Structure 1
Amino acid sequence: MPSTSAASPEHLAHQALTRYLELCDVPRSPDASGTLADLFTPDAVWEGVGPLYTEKFGRTTGPAAIAAMLAAYLRPNPHFRANAHLLHPGTTHVEGDEVRGRWLMQQVSRYESGAAELIVARLDVTFRVAADGARIRHFRTERLFDAGLGPSASDLLQEAPR
């Protein structure tokens, strides 16, 4: 990670979360560098919480296992045709070398099957901050809302008679 000595802990945490979401987008942003495992502390935990995500995602520990779990949804695996994460402003609290933040996130996805949906989730993320930046120590996601979406404009254009 680049030197970040002048940035606040909150800013470093926001940078790490933004990079995480970019690495989970399909297609991936051309300027999204690094790997998912690089964003987590050695003792990291990633978990789904609430009635819709506890069973679906459970709890995964360690950066390699977390990256492998997330990679199962990303290319080259056939899950998402397109996927974008939109992060809403959140709140953060600094305590010692940790930042805890809460955000609402929208995820708009088109699956390989052609189905599409909009999801709103609450993210509750704790970061450990060091001189070289922030890393995720505990990532919690809770699905709050979802809705199916219709076909994309490009799908409709491909189906239109010529």
Structure 2
Amino acid sequence: MTDQATIAALVQRIEVLEAEADIRRIQARYMFLCDTPCPEFGVGDDSHRIDLIMDLYSEDAVWEGVGEYYDNQFGRAVGHAEIRAHFEGFWGEKQDPQLLLNAHYLTSEQIHVDGEEASGQWIHMQPWLYSDGTGLLRSSRLNNTFRRIDGTWKITRTRTENVFIAPLPENFAGSFPSKSVLMRP
């Protein structure tokens, strides 16, 4: 291999590693912003939170729940307006009972980069606690796609499939914050 070919091969490998790191950060940021209470410093309301989530998506993105359980629960949202409406259903006073706590834990990561496009698979688990004391533990498989747009990776598809949902004991969390204080400057 010539020096030029070696350099070109190394550059390509570095670009893939950087893309994987960017995609990993985007997916983690998405999950972080979806946690309740929202741990992002300075996010005063859910509309702002949703704005930050939408910044992660391409204009033509798709968010969909698939499989036996999620088809009917989550459905399919295409484009920013539909995806925003989907997220507006998760937070706020219109939800009854209100979601007080959920946290996303990602595992089993696989990221595949092919030029300006990529896919990623994860399994995630999240406990949910509602204002009426009920709770559940939810686990899903994620099969997401990404595209580099003007030099920035964006989510082009969030596709989630139920692995299991299990009830948690009433008021399972005895101690949890009403707001996060970790992200102070």
Q: How does the TM-score come out when normalised to structure 2?
A: 0.74
**CA distances 1:122-145 after superposition (whole Å, capped 9, x unpaired):** 000001124543211011000111
State whether structure 2 residue 88 is matched by structure 1 residue 71: yes
Q: How far did residue 152 of structure 1 move? A: 2.7
Deviation sequence 1:89-121 (CA, Å, 0-9, x none) = 310111121110100000110012211111110
| In structure 1, C-alpha distance between the alignment counterparts of 2:115 and 2:16, rounded to whole Å | 17
For the residues of structure 2 that align with 1:26 and 1:63, how far apart are their CA atoms?
22
Q: Does 1:146 align with 2:165?
A: yes
**1:22, 1:28 within 8 Å by CA — same for their partners in 2?**
yes
Report the CA distance shift for 1:28/1:18 in structure 2 as closer, same or farther (over 3 A).
Answer: same
Runs of 4+ in 1 over 4 A off after TM superposition: 31-34
Identical residues among aligned pairs (%): 34
- What is the aligned counterpart of 1:21 among 3, 6, 31? 31
Alpha-carbon distance in structure 2 between the residues aligned to 1:100 and 1:74: 28
2:93, 2:29 → 1: CA distance? 19
Query: Does residue 1:118 correspond to 2:128, yes or no?
Result: no
**Which has the larger displacement, 134-143 or 74-83?**
74-83
**TM-score normalised per structure 1:** 0.83
- Paired residues, number: 151
Corresponding position of 2:40:
30
* CA shift for structure 1 position 6: 10
Q: Which has the higher helix share?
A: 2
Q: Which amino acid aligns with 1:80?
A: L
Give me the CA root mean square deviation: 2.2
Shift of 1:76: 4.6
Which range moves more in the overlay, 33-42 or 22-31?
A: 33-42
1:45 is matched with: 62
Q: 2:155 aligns with which of 133, 136, 143?
A: 136
2:117 maps to which of 94, 98, 118: 98
Unaligned runs of 5+ in 1: 156-162
Distance in 1 between the 2:55 and 2:114 partners?
Answer: 23
User: Which whole-Å CA distance do the structure 2 matches of 1:6 and 1:127 have between them?
Assistant: 13
Question: Retained in 1: the 8 A contact 2:104–2:126?
Answer: yes
Larger Rg, first or second structure (1 or 2): 2
